[in-house]
Chain A
């Protein structure tokens, strides 16, 4: 090959790089590559330093949740035609991925009762950032109202995303008794600057927001958009946001067939109503159903690309291109496997188990679970103030007993005292929940 292009060594092809930039020293990396066996041994040894869900019961959720991933899902996403493909720029040779993503969009619409969905965002937090920007563009306004009870990482991300667009994020208080949005505060903060109101169901702290009709009414009366954030595992039993007037729905679809992977990759949901003013402002790729030019067959391709960066450049609705396509395929397989009945059962199992855990824990003297009087789905708060213990202490002692306790909320919500966020799903057995309750009882009782 070198002979054909008239060189005698490869470095001649680097002759146009100024000499002083050509590296003379070796980089400080492992000098020589390892054999496959050595790599395997190295990585396995390193990862064996971890203790995970398969070794000890963990009660963590907060935006990344333990759920069973069916074997079929894992098998399909390992198909190398999916795994090793790039973005489906050439639709005729990429129908498999395009159809799977169209089905993903369609299933997300069914779950949320919306009409249009894109084929993924990075995660819930960045989807919120994009949804806020989208609402501001649609309404030509520059304020977003979000609940005070929101995941701090989501709160930080939405600020990072909206700040440069001159959008202000304002927090709406909650009722101390119930955690529900303080409607009075909402109304007082609503103005002709409000582009959107954001609510979550279930909320970050696991309770169900029940005033959805009222919030939707107030929002729309003010000509603002309602953005709803969801955990889709709840939608087999919980009312979908499309039914209470949400204009944009976002959320996290990791629990639908994707492992936790220490928090990434995740899978951001974004859906909206069938309204061209919304669709035109939507970020991300959208797959559409069409026909062949000869109209003989049905097929799929990317649509509405004039919204996107490779065409619209600095006037694009977002810069997103690479997204979480393969995670979306995993979710599609998961949703297809479960079907409507599976989703109802999943929702029922999760709410029953979580409420069972809540009851066992609330029976422990000096432990309050949950702190809000409200319905809870799969996560709930546990407070240790009366026991005079910090969440940190409690979790350390749980760890000694081989249990990973809930997420410490004491820094992000100091007003809630020593409170932790616990998560229970279908992967937690009754025995594990009882073990947790017994361990907490012993810890609080000073044993």
Chain B
């Protein structure tokens, strides 16, 4: 049985002692002090800070120990199997970490003279080309900081395109299927569109007839994940693209599920006009417990002129940053993107090559189908929608029958998996599956680890029928047991900072 460290580590504000210091900052040289006097005198009185900042006072040893203990109460891909659906939690090669921490990148300033950062501009330029090639798009922009940021850029590009065609007022609707990631409707709404939600067909794919009746002269575009969140390839993609384009809309590709298509098929070839890529999923960069990631966006030739500035350009001799793009929508954030994350992706593609990427895609699909085939045989679990078709990189099972028969829900299964030392799958998503367990093994876990997972799922299923209490009370081997999440969000008990905590004492 797994045992996670449980340090009962106090909040850092209750550690330490007045007067302790963990780091010394260099002082200004004596001559500088002589010349300019005191810091106080350099600030007008009403703008000086007078209180002592309420930060804890700790030694370096205490700080290091505190955060080391916290890290021991966390679980990453390096800890074990992490089948979090739609998140593509593959192993993050260590060499990429080493390369990303080279001072020749980490110490570079974004406004340095271009002649002094040719190495960085070269890899950015090449990475853009590679991502274009992989997605089948004309041009790729590396600026967005995350997948959702890429989606926002994508929907803003739709907007920019409509504006230049004078169709802005008319085309106000973006269609998303009900199986879409929550970011899709949220991004479309942020870009000012009305969201039309389309129910999926009985086979779990897009209902072409429903799409036909949903499109109109108000349609700005359709956002689609392919393979979709059930792991099914949208079989009618040809017709879908035709319907959307004939209605005058643009087709948007949510890249969260790009992994199974690497080197096998390309969104651009299927008629997608805008494609975002989750670098921290498909291209193996670590997710850091919630970021930083990167969400590059690829587009067709027609849309390229709207991409954010600057663009990296190459004249055959040197690389430069081009801001002279009169049609550009502007900036999505400061500077050029999450360069340190992008370097890891560059190194990953170099390590894999075309053949390696294709193999990764294939193995991710093989693994998902192997898991699906084994897990669907477990009593209480069912495979919703088409039971014959292969899945791609992930599969979704329903624990509804198990819940009906034993009271053990998808949530309980997830928590019990933690007890056995596995991360849980994504649960209750997609929304169209009751008691959903969304499982994505990726290509980087070996068969033995998957077999252990399958065996554990079987055991949990048995526990549900014979001793449901042990599952309902899970987890008990993690740093803490089940948390009161309702209390955490209730206005009366909500505690969002140490300050707030002290005020509520």
Contact = CB atoms under 8 A, between A and B. Distances in A.
B71 A81 contact: yes
Contacts of B390: 12-16
B357 A29 contact: yes
Interface in A40-92: 40, 42-44, 46-54, 58, 60, 62-64, 66, 68, 70, 72, 74-92
A62 B111 contact: yes
B288 interface: yes
A18 B500 CA distance: 57
Nearest to A408: B111
A375 B48 CA distance: 11
A139 B424 CA distance: 41
Interface in B448-505: 475, 478-485, 487-489, 491, 493-501, 503
A441 interface: no
Interface stretch (B53-61, B297-305, B401-409): B53-61
Interface residues of A, number: 202
A185 interface: no
A439 interface: no
B387 interface: no
A321 B181 CA distance: 11
B97 A292 contact: no
Interface in B129-153: 130, 133-134, 145-149, 151-152
Contacts of A26: 354
A109 B497 contact: yes
B297 to A, nearest CB: 14
A238 B47 contact: yes
A236 interface: yes
A42 B350 contact: yes
B273 interface: no
A164 B447 CA distance: 48
Contact of B335 (A106, A264, A345, A375): A264
Given A63-B334, A94-B289, A103-B11, A16 B415 contact: no
Interface in B343-384: 343, 346-347, 349-357, 362-363, 365-367, 369-370, 373-374
Given A126-B332, A310-B429, A319-B148, A349 B25 contact: yes
A316 B20 CA distance: 43
Nearest to B123: A46
B293 interface: yes
Contacts of A159: 330
Q: Report which residue of A122, A264, A300, A318 has the largest number of chain B beta carbons within 10 angstroms of its beta carbon.
A: A264
Given A17-B265, A52-B103, A318-B186, A341 B57 contact: yes
B13 interface: yes
A142 interface: no
A52 B78 CA distance: 33
A263 interface: yes
Contacts of B501: 289
B131 to A, nearest CB: 10
Contacts of B165: none
Interface in B268-294: 269-270, 280, 286-293
B99 A274 contact: no
B55 A210 contact: no
Given A29-B134, A342-B22, A235 B289 contact: no
Given A32-B354, A301-B483, 18 more contacts: A27-B134, A54-B107, A90-B424, A102-B498, A115-B499, A126-B145, A210-B47, A239-B48, A265-B341, A291-B483, A293-B484, A303-B496, A324-B145, A337-B23, A337-B58, A347-B39, A353-B28, A404-B113
25 contacts: A16-B235, A30-B354, A49-B122, A64-B109, A86-B289, A91-B480, A99-B70, A212-B47, A237-B40, A264-B335, A274-B503, A288-B496, A303-B494, A310-B181, A314-B186, A316-B182, A319-B187, A322-B291, A323-B292, A325-B289, A329-B288, A336-B56, A352-B28, A375-B42, A430-B31
